[in-house]
Structure 1
Amino acid sequence: MQITLMKGKNHRASLPEADLHHEGSIAIDRKLLDEGGFVVYERVEIFNVETGARFGTYVIDAPEGSGTVGLNGATARLAIPGDKLIVVAYATFNEAEARIFRPRIVRVDGENRILPG
């Protein structure tokens, strides 16, 4: 049996930018990607805390330390700058792996800087 679990999450990131005319994706600060265990081009689910919208896209990296969390292409229509987003990646595990696995959860402040703890 295979079980799908949340492997990583960026919790309540602020959306500073959305670019309808950029190739579709979500650009995320490299530091946030690394801390959350995300891989460039990985499929992610995005939850807009403000509207309840849920949608998927893939990840591209933004410069480390930039604080960038930017929606691109069609996804830019699903949130506006200032919205809070939760970005989640999933992985599939066998039952034994699932019982011991712990996801990487990254909480950020209003400027998308990683909070301690």
Structure 2
Amino acid sequence: MESKRQQKFAGVLQEELAAIFQREGAAYLPNTLVTITKVRVSSDLAVAKVYLSFLNTNNTSLSVATVNAHAGEIRYKLGSRIRHQARIVPTLSFFVDDTNEYVEHMDKIFDKISKDRKDTDQEG
């Protein structure tokens, strides 16, 4: 369970990272929209796990690897934006947020189940 302090700091990081990706995301991933879906911060606020969602990309693992390759540069830009709000700038690790893919997969399963039920109801 995250403390209020962690949640508040994660919210600040999410906002600032979203602004960075909105302005300069095209430099890392041209023609790809990057959304920060979730930020988890360690209890000492030194490490942040950032979950990303991508639009207009065929290979999400390559996209997240590209963003991770630029993590130091992104951290520097983040530091210049939050330097008055935080004592330390957390180390950033980026991950793919596959929640949407999971939801779509589950929707397909439920649709198949309801279709199978209708077929068996009509037969019986």
TM-score w.r.t. structure 1 length? 0.30
Larger radius of gyration: 2
TM-score w.r.t. structure 2 length? 0.29
Q: Which has the higher contact order (CA 8 A, sep 6+)?
A: 1
User: Larger % of strand: which?
Assistant: 1
User: Larger % of helix: which?
Assistant: 2
